[in-house]
Amino acid sequence: MKAELIKRLRENMSKKIVWRDTFFDHLLIALLSGGHVLIEDVPGVGKTFIARTFAQSLALSFVRLQMTPDTLASDVTGASVFNAKTSQFDLVLGPIMNHIVLADELNRTSPKTQAALLEAMEEKQVTIEGRSFPLPDPFLLIATQNPISSVGVYPLPEAELDRFLMKLSVGYPDQEAAVSLGKRFLEGELEKKTEAVLSREEILAMRKEVEEVSVREELLSYAMEIIEGTRRAEGVLCGCSPRASLDLLRSSQAKAYLSDRSYLVPEDLMDMARVVLPHRIRMTAEAEMARQTGHDVVEKVLLKVSVPV
């Protein structure tokens, strides 16, 4: 049943999108792990289109927010609005109260508005004028940003980056994929409505099964050694946090689940470390000048830490 659901979702999205299978897997892992995704890539590669198609393939409420410098925190979370008929203030909940929220060009909005998302991402709730409101379950934030534009942007702070389960890149399509994309465009396939093929109940049931994937003690220790290795690595100013270790474990469980296993293997942790950890590692100025990145650190740590048999 699980394999059939995943196959159905993959085929539904592949009608519109030409991509690497790993990108689809990572999006699904984020959904099943209760995490959030930051998609960073150059303009025009389909970041927003992919996020929207993924959301529409699920029978969940969806909203797209175009983040701009004048977007206010209340535009996201909600606020009290004066009602002229009753001469009272009515509380109006914002668009954040949806299952899947696409924050397009997140780094173009102000730090204050970005901060409004922190509570939602971590605690799955928002506080408006002293009152807390739980977000729908499941809740997934998909944010996009352009890595090359530096005019009018506000770089995401470490506290916000650490709340994203993974940071992904779409990349340019190869020749075969580009031709296929052109064909679908000319035939009008890209304009057709995307049907929902996975219900909320099915998603929640799959998430529960992910949590039941067993993790042996030696693999738990292995995961923590990887995290500790990022903190001690040369050229690292700030390594991975305890939150990162929990995200690594949960996403690895989801990876095993998608591989049709009820238990974790070292390869699950290694594969997920490469997408869950790099964006959380802050390098020293000297290391950045030497063009060292978080990806380099993770690869070195994986080579150094002994893999349990």
- By the 10 Å C-beta count (0-12 exposed, 13-18 middle, 19+ buried), 104 is classed as buried
Tokens for 28, please give them.
Answer: 């699904």
Q: Answer whether 13's CB lies under 8 Å from 57's CB.
A: yes
Backbone angles phi, psi at 210, to 5 degrees: -60, -45
Look at residue 102 in the predicted model and tell me its pLDDT: 93
CB of 69 closer than 8 Å to CB of 63: no
**Are 39 and 170 spatial neighbours (Cβ–Cβ below 8 Å)?**
yes
Give 180's contacts (C-beta < 8 A, 6+ positions apart): 18
**What architecture is domain 212-304?**
Orthogonal Bundle (1.10)
Closest to 27 (Cα-Cα) out of 56, 3, 50:
50
For residue 154, the tally of other CB atoms under 10 A from its CB is: 16
- Parallel, antiparallel or unpaired: strands 78-83 and 88-93: antiparallel
> CA 230, CA 298: separation in Å to the nearest integer?
7
State the pLDDT at residue 95. 93
Nearest to 300 by CA among 130, 281, 289: 281
* pLDDT, position 21: 66
Residues 6 or more apart from 53 whose CB is under 8 A from it? 13, 16, 17, 194
pLDDT means per 10 residues, the chain with 309 residues, are: 80 77 88 94 82 87 90 88 80 90 91 89 89 92 81 81 93 82 83 85 93 96 97 94 97 95 96 96 93 95 93
Identical fold, 2-191 and 212-304: no
Side chain identity at 172, as an amino acid letter?
A: Y
Q: Look up the CATH number of domain 2-191.
A: 3.40.50.300
Catalogue the E-assigned strands of 152-294: 166-168, 236-238, 282-283
β-strands 236-238, 282-283 pairing: antiparallel
Q: How far apart are CA 26 and CA 265, in angstroms?
A: 18
Closest CA to 34 of 214, 243, 236: 243
Look up tokens 């592949």; give the residue. 14
Domain ranges for the chain, please list them: 2-191, 212-304
DSSP 171-232: ----HHHHHHHHHHHHTTGGGSPPPP-B-HHHHHHHHHHHHTSB--HHHHHHHHHHHHHHHH
pLDDT at 152: 66
